[in-house]
Amino acid sequence: MLDPTLLRQQPAELAARLRETRGYALDPAALESLESERKQIQVRTQELQNLRNTRSKAIGQAKAKGEDVAPLMAEVAAFGDELKASEARLETIKAEIEAIALGIPNLPHASVPAGKDETDNVETHRWGTPRTFDFEVKDHVELGARNGWLDGDTAAKLSGARFTVLRGGLARLHRALAQFMIDLHTEQHGYQETSVPLLVNADSMRGTGQLPKFEDDLFATVVGEGEAASKRYLIPTSEVPLTNIVRDEIVEDAAMPLRMTAHSMCFRAEAGSHGRDTRGMIRQHQFEKVELVSIVRPDESYDEHERMTRCAEVVLETLGLPYKRMLLCTGDMGFAATKTYDLEVWLPSQNTYREISSCSNCEAFQARRMQARWRNPATGKPELAHTLNGSGVAVGRAMIAVMENYQNADGSISVPEALRRYMGGVEVLS
């Protein structure tokens, strides 16, 4: 959520910035009208509340003196209905303003290039040289199907489209990748391993920006029955529970920066991706990811952003997977981000790079929604923290990249050296 003072004091300027950078249409006239009404009703509500308090005190004093309190009681009754109506309208207006605020995306950092979509993203770094093959390259679906290791048909019978069953060596490779990443981030990069719930409440989804805007992309279930029933959401990424750990909390300065990592299942409805990447494991309803989350002091968040992105890059370099770093333009960034780097890994079968990690600085956007704060030792007062999140990295896509980049002419797959200790010393899957 953006700073409320921008909405109250500079609605026209904010609308212009959102239109130019995000293609987002904000109606400043409607916002100004609501804000004007809010001020008027708030003043009148406070007047009526003060009047009620004053008259209530006068009634008490009159009763103590044995005086007739009927006139005072009649006066209180006369403005009581107006006070109730005024309080109700004030809450309605505040809710309308909050609904508008919750739907506004974050403003891009000054260093983010202007653009409409992914074609305007800027490459900032490239590592590794794509391998040259002397045989016909197979994609991950063909490689996995040879031994029944990757089975989409059985998954479709069990659950429907965009699910996969993994077996044998491929299932072990998938598990090995996750273990390798968690060990790397905890042992070398200073992140604390954290196990988080896969079901979260609406407050958690709202805190990181998935609600209300992206509800159609989420899987949800109802827990309990009747009046006790409540909605729970399957997490689209462990960013949600990790970041919400500090919701409504004040983190002491000595604990900053707070760095957490989690390996978890992730669930996405992929509501807006019909017809895209339906073959294999590129785009699934259920997948696994190793997530990185940092809670930091505001003046350190851009250094932390570079550091986090580098941690994800080390995963790919250690696996020997060629990649490039892309700085996303204003039109391609996520809702909560102010600056984002995507890492794209080389996939030989597609002869192109595909996203495998996205690392974002959200500044105080999520923290304001969550009331996540840190105590500034200079003032002793709580201030909004900055939050960052990144994939470190997507396990399924890393497995696809390993399969395709390490494939052999006979359909076998060489195991990268970094993974062999997690594979019981196996060097080749065949």
pLDDT at 59 over 90: no
Write out pLDDT tens, residues 326-367: 999 999 999 999 999 999 999 999 999 999 999 999 999 999
Q: What is the pLDDT of residue 227?
A: 86
Mean pLDDT over the full length of the chain: 95
Please say if 38 is a catalytic residue.
no
Question: Which of 355, 383, 412, 414 is the catalytic position?
Answer: 355
Backbone angles phi, psi at 391, to 5 degrees: -85, 130
Q: What is the pLDDT of residue 52?
A: 85
351 marked ligand binding residue: no
What CA–CA distance (Å, rounded) separates 92 from 94? Answer: 5
Q: Can you say whether residue 361 is alpha, beta or left, with left for phi > 0 and alpha for psi between -120 and 50 degrees?
A: beta
Q: What are the residues whose beta carbons fall under 8 Å from the beta carbon of 90, sequence distance 6 or more? A: 38, 41, 42, 45
Please say if 268 is a catalytic residue.
yes
Average pLDDT of 92-117? 97
- Helix (H) / strand (E) containing 222: strand 220-223
Question: Which of 22, 172, 268, 373 is the catalytic position?
Answer: 268
358 marked ligand binding residue: yes
Whole-model pTM?
A: 0.93
Q: What is the pLDDT of residue 157?
A: 97
Q: Let me know: does 388 contact 294? Beta carbons within 8 Å.
A: yes
111 marked ligand binding residue: no
Question: Which of 283, 297, 310, 354 is the catalytic position?
Answer: 283
Average pLDDT of 8-33? 96
Average pLDDT of 243-265? 98
* Strand bridging mode 323-327 / 339-347: antiparallel
Average pLDDT of 132-149? 95
Please say if 358 is a catalytic residue.
yes
Judge whether 4-103 and 118-200+234-429 match in fold.
no
270 marked ligand binding residue: yes
Q: What is the pLDDT of residue 272?
A: 66
77 marked ligand binding residue: no
Question: Which of 86, 301, 358, 360 is the catalytic position?
Answer: 358
Average pLDDT of 34-46? 95
Write out pLDDT tens, residues 386-423: 999 999 999 999 999 999 999 999 999 999 999 999 99
What CA–CA distance (Å, rounded) separates 4 from 338? Answer: 17
50 marked ligand binding residue: no
With a pLDDT cut of 70, the percent of the chain lying above it is 99
Can you name the CATH fold of 4-103?
Answer: Helix Hairpins (1.10.287)
Sorted by where each begins, the domain ranges of the chain are 4-103, 118-200+234-429
pLDDT at 276 over 80: no
Amino acid found at 10: Q
Minimum mean pLDDT range among 9-23, 60-74, 206-220, 330-344: 60-74
Q: What is the pLDDT of residue 259?
A: 98
Burial of 81 (0-12, 13-18, 19+ CB in 10 A): exposed
Can you name the CATH fold of 118-200+234-429?
Answer: BirA Bifunctional Protein; domain 2 (3.30.930)
Please say if 397 is a catalytic residue.
yes
pLDDT band, residue 177 (cuts 50/70/90): very high
389 marked ligand binding residue: yes
Q: What is the pLDDT of residue 107?
A: 98
357 marked ligand binding residue: yes
Please say if 325 is a catalytic residue.
no
Q: How many CA atoms lie within 13 A of 387 on its CB side?
A: 32
* Strand bridging mode 339-347 / 413-414: unpaired
SS3 266: strand
